[in-house]
Amino acid sequence: MNLPNSTLLVLMGLLTFALAGSGPAHATLGEGSDSIAKDRKALSAVKRATTSHAKYSVQEVASDATVVREFLTPSGVVFAIAWKGLVPPDLTVLLGSYFDEYKEAKRQLPRKHGQRRSRVKGDRVVVETWGHMRNLQGRAYDPALVPTGVRIDEIH
Amino acid sequence: MKFTRLLLGIFTLLPLLALAAGCGGGGGGGGDSESPLVSITVTPANSTIAAGGTLQFSAVGTYANGKTADLTAAATWSSSVEAVASVNNAAGSKGAVTGVAAGSTAIIAMVGTVSGSANVTVTGAGAVSPNVMTITVNGSLCSDSSYLNKPCVSVTICNPGSTTCRTIPDILLDTGSYGLRIFKDTIPDLTLAQVPSGSGSLAECVQFADGSSLWGPVQVAGVKLGNEPVVEIPVQVVDASFGTRPNQCQNADLSRQSARFNGILGVGISTEDCGPICVSNPGIGLYYRCSGANCSGTAVALASQVQNPVPHLPPQDNNGIIVQLPAVPFDGVVSTSGSLIFGIGTRPNNTPASPTVFPTDEFGDFRTVYNGVNSTSFLDTGSNGLYFPNVPPELPTCPDPDSGWYCPPVTRELFATTVGAFGSPSATVPFYIGNLLNLANSPNNVFKEIGGTSTFGFDWGLPFFLGRQVFFGMEGKASSLGTGPYVAY
Dihedral sign from CA coordinates of A90, B241, B177, B150: negative
Does the pTM exceed 0.80?
no
Q: How confident is the model at residue B473 (pLDDT cuts 50, 70, 90)?
A: very high
In this complex, is the C-beta atom of A21 within 8 Å of any C-beta atom belonging to chain B? yes
Query: pLDDT at position A78, please?
Result: 86
| Residue from the list A22, A110, A132 with its beta carbon closest to the beta carbon of B209 | A132
According to DSSP H, which parts of B126-251 are helical?
A: none
Per-residue pLDDT of chain A (156 residues; tens, 9 = 90+): 343 444 444 444 444 434 443 333 334 687 776 556 544 543 445 677 778 888 899 988 888 888 888 899 998 888 999 999 999 877 776 777 888 899 999 989 888 899 999 999 999 999 999 999 999 999 999 999 999 999 988 888
DSSP assignment letter at A98: G
CATH assignment of B35-121, given 3.40.50.880, 3.10.450.50, 2.60.40.1080, 3.90.1150.10? 2.60.40.1080
CATH assignment of B130-310, given 2.40.70, 2.60.120, 2.40.50, 2.60.40? 2.40.70
Of all residues in chain B, the percent with pLDDT exceeding 90 is: 77
Residues of B in contact with A117 (CB under 8 A): 209-210, 387, 404, 452, 454-456, 459
Give the distance, in angstroms, between the CA of residue B294 and the centroid of all CA atoms in the same chain.
34
Count of residues in chain A = 156
Q: How close, in Å, is residue A86 to chain B by CA atoms?
A: 7
B46: CB partners within 8 A, 6+ apart: B17, B118, B119, B120, B121
| Residue from the list A64, A111, A136 with its beta carbon closest to the beta carbon of B281 | A64
Query: B51-65, pLDDT tens digit by residue?
Result: 777 777 889 999 999
In this complex, is the C-beta atom of A87 within 8 Å of any C-beta atom belonging to chain B? yes
Residues of A in contact with B250 (CB under 8 A): 92
| Residue from the list B266, B277, B461 with its beta carbon closest to the beta carbon of A86 | B277
Q: Which residues pair with B339 in a beta bridge?
A: B134, B324
Residues of A in contact with B274 (CB under 8 A): 86, 134
User: Which residue on chain A is closest to B281 by alpha carbon?
Assistant: A64
Name the packing angle between helices A5-20 and A34-42 (round to 10°): 20
* CA–CA separation, B147 and B423 (whole Å): 36
Query: pLDDT at position A13, please?
Result: 41
Average confidence (pLDDT) over B132-156: 95
The phi and psi torsions of B458 (rounded to 5 degrees) equal: -110, 110
User: Which residue on chain A is closest to B274 by alpha carbon?
Assistant: A134
Query: pLDDT at position A3, please?
Result: 39
CB pairs under 8 A between A and B: 144
Query: pLDDT at position B97, please?
Result: 86
* CA–CA separation, B287 and B296 (whole Å): 8
Query: pLDDT at position B6, please?
Result: 32
pLDDT at residue B471 is higher than 60: yes
Domain-wise residue ranges, chain B: 35-121, 130-310, 341-486
Q: How confident is the model at residue B128 (pLDDT cuts 50, 70, 90)?
A: low
Domain-wise residue ranges, chain A: 5-150
Q: How confident is the model at residue B353 (pLDDT cuts 50, 70, 90)?
A: confident
Helix (H) or strand (E) holding B473: strand B468-473
B395 half-sphere exposure, CB direction, 13 A CA radius: 30
According to DSSP H, which parts of A43-139 are helical?
A: 91-94, 99-108
Q: How confident is the model at residue B12 (pLDDT cuts 50, 70, 90)?
A: very low
Query: pLDDT at position A45, please?
Result: 58
* Most confident range, picked from B11-25, B68-82, B116-130, B316-330: B316-330
User: Which residue on chain B is closest to A108 by alpha carbon?
Assistant: B401
Peptide bond into B401 cis (omega under 30): yes
Average confidence (pLDDT) over B144-164: 96
* CA–CA separation, A88 and B271 (whole Å): 21
Give the distance, in angstroms, between the CA of residue A107 and the centroid of all CA atoms in the same chain.
20
Query: B182-196, pLDDT tens digit by residue?
Result: 999 999 999 999 999
| Residue from the list A92, A116, A120 with its beta carbon closest to the beta carbon of B459 | A116
Q: How confident is the model at residue B40 (pLDDT cuts 50, 70, 90)?
A: very high
